[in-house]
């Protein structure tokens, strides 16, 4: 039958409310009458179950309800991480003394290990120390 009542109207009518036209339809429509009766039975059944003993308890599960504070806490955590983040101290920009430069640049022992002739290195040291006599030795 066309123009049958919706669930909302049936619930309204079950509360002794609803429009006169809905009430009139309910009185004449067998389908809506049986739907209204089914609604009443369902509600009564649920209420009966809720009034009575529940089924055996399921295993309790502890849950943490996810709410607004979860993303907020994540944001605060991220900010703290960024603020407190420390890049390992770099010494690249530290000023070096001239001695350190010289020792590094003219590290005789390192040079020997790399295969440079030791006699040449000694001569080089002498030049740097300004004790080399140009007349005594010729460069190849």
Partner 1 sequence: VARAVAVANPHDDYEALYRQHGPRVRRLCRLVLLDADEAEDVAQEVFLKLLREHRDRAGSVAWGPWLTRVAVNACRDRRRSRWWGWWRTSGEEPALDGVAERRATPEDETLDAEHRARIWAAFRRLPVRQREVFALRHVEEWSTEDTARILGVETGTVKRHLFRAVRHLRGALGSVR
Q: How far is the CB of 85 from partner 1 (least distance, A)?
A: 30
The 8-class DSSP code of residue 55 comes to P
Assess 134 for contact with partner 1 (CB under 8 A).
no
Assess 67 for contact with partner 1 (CB under 8 A).
yes
Assess 68 for contact with partner 1 (CB under 8 A).
no
Kindly determine how many residues on this chain lie close enough to bind partner 1 according to the rule CB under 8 A: 33
User: Which of 48/138 has CB closer to partner 1?
Assistant: 48
Helix (H) or strand (E) segment spanning residue 78: helix 69-84
Choice from 20, 56, 88, 115 touching partner 1 (CB under 8 A): 56
Alpha-carbon span 131 to 118, nearest angstrom: 17
User: Which of 59/94 has CB closer to partner 1?
Assistant: 59
In sequence order, which residues have a C-beta less than 8 Å from that of residue 33 and are 6 or more positions away?
A: 26, 27
In sequence order, which residues have a C-beta less than 8 Å from that of residue 108 and are 6 or more positions away?
A: 118, 121, 125
Choice from 4, 31, 46, 107 touching partner 1 (CB under 8 A): 46
């Amino acid at each position: 039958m066309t123009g049958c009542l919706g669930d909302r109207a049936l619930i309204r009518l079950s509360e002794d409310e609803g429009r006169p036209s809905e009430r009139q339809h309910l009185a004449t429509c067998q389908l809506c009458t049986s739907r209204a009766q089914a609604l009443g039975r369902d509600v009564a059944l649920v209420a009966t179950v809720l009034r009575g003993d529940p089924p055996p308890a399921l295993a309790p599960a502890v849950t943490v309800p996810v709410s607004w504070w979860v993303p907020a806490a994540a944001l605060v955590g991220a900010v703290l991480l960024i603020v407190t983040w420390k890049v390992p101290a770099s010494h690249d920009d530290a000023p070096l003394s001239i001695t350190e430069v010289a020792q590094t640049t003219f590290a005789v022992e390192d040079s020997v290990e790399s295969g440079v002739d030791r006699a040449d290195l000694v001569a080089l040291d002498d030049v740097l120390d300004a004790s080399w006599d140009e007349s005594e030795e010729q460069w190849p």
